[in-house]
């Protein structure tokens, strides 16, 4: 080959090298765009519309300026958007972030600031939202779900740290911290016996039922979590007395298992029913499980690090035990206190619109003193309720009282029921005889509650509830009870009882409407462990309940109870 011919052969290679270099340069410029990042700083010539697109596609013909069709979940949350390409095809686009929806379109400056954070915020990232939050969030959950979750996740984090630390403490107490090899037979036996005690705790806690948890979830959420922390503290001190491993570990397991039984009944029961607003209880529960497992992974190295730090302190300073104890108390006590703060705030931010006895009596008392305008809405009442604040005042009526609370003896009980019957008959005389009205269901039926008197501690009304009492009956009973607390002078004040019945009958419709207007549920009342009686048996009426045709309370609503007495004569 001649020398003149060589450049001809080399020229195509040079052109190919230039083409490769040019292609690489274009890839470098376009790579950030393919990853969905803003390229405005690095490449000013890039089109602004493409620079602010988070999920740009390399395919040609995409149009971000044409009409779009929003695809949503069952709860109304954006899943994705669909655009139209110049050729008439479908162009799949990411959903708009909340700040873009409020602004009416993507904001370049806000997008640049939030692009990094949005990828890790489940509220802004569609992928993370699908993993950590219920479908359709926030439209498918209650308004207090978000503030509760913030504190609940913090409590889970510290709870998982405590679990890691206490597990290592128990192993040290068994002698596994320094003994290599397999677990000795005696240690394995102690471990199994320790866990066996937990089964007894489950039986004990389960036999008590979840009635108290249903009626006052905020207080029992705090109590159950606090008892779990007590169990963790017992486990933490077990290495200091390895000879007492079995009694200490068994006690801790018993307390913790009982606490977890109450906590589990709240999480899977009352709280799930409260949070789920789109019949999506399973979805809400599954997301809580995902959040908890993720935090467990984060807490694992934290717990190991804290335990090793404390262990090394004891190993390096054996001559100063008080200093070592102070370090352990500082680390372990800090985790326990942080957990308690989180669960306290998680309970404090809950806002239940379901009426229990305490909430109903509190609002009935406000209605008595100030009328409909004095009734608090759900948010204000939840803040006033607190976690451990007193649920009742000393003069508040006992709603769902037992027989000894309401009557001195059988003759007194018959007189009290007679007052209820007579007042219902007097009210029915002024009404159409063929129509059922108010809480009694008609003039011939009598009431589904009776107001008595508890003479202890200065005296206060005690309301007996019939087994067939509807939510409206319970509302009327609360009104009659709060009026009797100021208008009745004792258990023999027949005229005072009649005035209380008349006042409640005249205002139950207004009270019910005002409660509903302030966001309260009036179709259900959670009575928990309140006693209920078949008062109709005292009146000699046939059929179940109060003689009103044997209908149960579910016709006009429902009343949640967990304790009843089939026949007052049995007492």
Q: How confident is the model at residue 89 (pLDDT cuts 50, 70, 90)?
A: confident
Residue 525 has pLDDT above 80, yes or no: yes
Question: Quick one: average pLDDT of 501-507?
Answer: 95
Question: Quick one: average pLDDT of 131-149?
Answer: 79
Q: What pLDDT does 197 receive?
A: 73
Residues ≥6 apart with Cβ < 8 Å to 457: 394
Residue 98's CB is within 10 A of a number of other CB atoms, namely 13
Q: How confident is the model at residue 508 (pLDDT cuts 50, 70, 90)?
A: very high
Residue 66's CB is within 10 A of a number of other CB atoms, namely 11
Residue 46 has pLDDT above 50, yes or no: no
Coil, helix or strand at residue 278: coil
Question: Quick one: average pLDDT of 258-271?
Answer: 82
Closest CA to 177 of 352, 4, 315: 315
Mean pLDDT, rounded, of the chain: 74
Q: What pLDDT does 51 receive?
A: 38
Residue with tokens 């703060």: 341
Q: What pLDDT does 430 receive?
A: 47
Closest CA to 165 of 299, 294, 292: 299
Question: Quick one: average pLDDT of 31-39?
Answer: 35
Q: How confident is the model at residue 126 (pLDDT cuts 50, 70, 90)?
A: low
Concatenated DSSP letters for 107-144? -HHHHHHHHHHHTT-TTT-HHHHHHHS-TTTTTTB-TT
Question: Quick one: average pLDDT of 334-350?
Answer: 95
Q: What pLDDT does 257 receive?
A: 87
Percentage with pLDDT > 90 across the chain: 30
Q: How confident is the model at residue 382 (pLDDT cuts 50, 70, 90)?
A: very high
Residue 512 has pLDDT above 80, yes or no: yes
Tell me which of 168-177, 303-312, 344-353 is least confident: 168-177
Question: Quick one: average pLDDT of 281-301?
Answer: 88
Q: How confident is the model at residue 201 (pLDDT cuts 50, 70, 90)?
A: confident
Residue 389 has pLDDT above 90, yes or no: yes
Residue 524 has pLDDT above 70, yes or no: yes
Residues ≥6 apart with Cβ < 8 Å to 358: 216, 385, 391, 392
Q: What pLDDT does 511 receive?
A: 97
CA 404 to CA 255: how far, in whole Å?
A: 34
Residue 339 has pLDDT above 80, yes or no: yes
Are the C-beta atoms of 64 and 83 separated by less than 8 Å? yes
Q: How far is CA 170 from the centre of its chain?
A: 32
Strands 78-84 and 90-93: antiparallel
Question: Quick one: average pLDDT of 515-532?
Answer: 92
Q: What is the pLDDT of residues 403-440, one digit of tens each?
A: 889 988 888 988 998 899 888 766 655 444 334 444 44
Residue 271 has pLDDT above 80, yes or no: yes
Question: Quick one: average pLDDT of 204-209?
Answer: 65
Q: What pLDDT does 71 receive?
A: 56
Q: What is the pLDDT of residues 447-501, one digit of tens each?
A: 899 999 999 888 999 999 988 899 999 999 999 999 999 999 999 999 999 999 9
Tell me which of 206-210, 443-447, 527-531 is least confident: 443-447
Main-chain phi, psi angles of 349, to 5 degrees = -85, -5
Name the β-bridge partners of 299.
none
Q: How confident is the model at residue 123 (pLDDT cuts 50, 70, 90)?
A: low
């Amino acid at each position: 080959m001649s020398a003149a011919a060589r450049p001809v052969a080399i020229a195509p290679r040079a052109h190919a090298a230039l083409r490769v270099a040019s292609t690489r340069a274009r890839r470098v410029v376009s790579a950030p765009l393919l990853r969905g990042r803003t390229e405005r700083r690095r490449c000013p010539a890039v089109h602004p519309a493409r620079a602010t697109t988070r999920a740009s596609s390399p395919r040609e013909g995409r149009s971000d300026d044409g009409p779009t069709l929003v695809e949503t979940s069952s709860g109304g949350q954006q899943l994705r958007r669909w655009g139209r390409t110049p050729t008439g095809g479908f162009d799949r686009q990411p959903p708009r972030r909340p700040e873009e929806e409020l602004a009416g379109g993507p904001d370049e400056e806000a997008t640049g600031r939030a692009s990094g954070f949005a990828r890790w915020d489940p509220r802004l990232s569609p992928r993370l939202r699908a993993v950590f939050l219920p479908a359709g969030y926030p439209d498918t959950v209650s308004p207090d779900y978000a503030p509760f979750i913030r504190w609940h996740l913090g409590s889970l984090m510290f709870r998982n740290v405590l679990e890691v630390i206490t597990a290592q403490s128990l192993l040290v107490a068994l002698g596994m911290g320094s003994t290599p090899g397999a677990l000795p037979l005696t240690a394995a036996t102690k471990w199994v016996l320790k866990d066996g005690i937990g089964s007894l705790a489950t039986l004990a806690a389960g036999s008590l039922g979840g009635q108290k948890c249903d009626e006052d979830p905020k207080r029992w959420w705090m109590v159950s979590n606090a008892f779990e922390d007590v169990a963790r503290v017992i486990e933490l001190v077990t290495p200091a007395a390895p000879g007492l491993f079995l009694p200490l570990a068994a006690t801790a397991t018993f307390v913790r298992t009982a606490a977890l039984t109450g906590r589990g009944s709240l999480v899977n029961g009352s709280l799930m029913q409260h949070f789920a607003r789109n019949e999506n209880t399973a979805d809400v529960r599954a997301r809580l499980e995902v959040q908890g497992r993720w935090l467990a992974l984060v807490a694992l190295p934290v717990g190991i690090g804290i335990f090793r730090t404390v262990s090394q302190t004891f190993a390096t300073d054996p001559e100063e035990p008080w200093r070592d104890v102070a370090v352990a108390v500082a680390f372990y006590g800090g985790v326990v206190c942080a957990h308690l703060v989180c669960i306290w705030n998680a309970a404090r931010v809950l806002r239940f619109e379901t009426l229990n006895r305490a909430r109903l009596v509190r609002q009935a008392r406000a209605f008595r003193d100030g009328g409909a305008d004095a009734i608090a809405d759900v948010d204000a009442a939840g803040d006033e309720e607190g976690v451990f604040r007193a649920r009742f005042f000393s003069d508040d009526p006992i709603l769902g009282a037992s027989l000894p609370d309401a009557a001195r003896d059988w003759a007194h009980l018959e007189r009290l029921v007679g007052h209820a019957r007579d007042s219902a008959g007097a009210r029915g005389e002024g009404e159409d005889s063929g129509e059922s009205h108010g809480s009694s269901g008609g003039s011939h039926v009598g009431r589904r509650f009776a107001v008595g008197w508890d003479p202890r501690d200065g005296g206060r009304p005690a309301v007996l509830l019939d087994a067939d009492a509807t939510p409206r009956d319970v509302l009327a009973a609360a009104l009659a009870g709060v009026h009797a607390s100021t208008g009745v002078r004792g258990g023999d004040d027949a005229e005072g009882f009649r005035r209380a019945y008349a006042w409640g009958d005249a205002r139950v419709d207004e009270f019910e409407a005002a409660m509903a207007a302030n966001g309260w549920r009036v179709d259900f009342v959670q009575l928990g462990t309140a006693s209920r009686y078949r008062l109709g048996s005292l009146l000699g009426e046939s059929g179940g309940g109060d003689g009103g045709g044997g209908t149960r309370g579910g016709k006009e609503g429902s009343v949640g109870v967990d304790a009843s007495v089939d026949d007052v004569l049995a007492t």
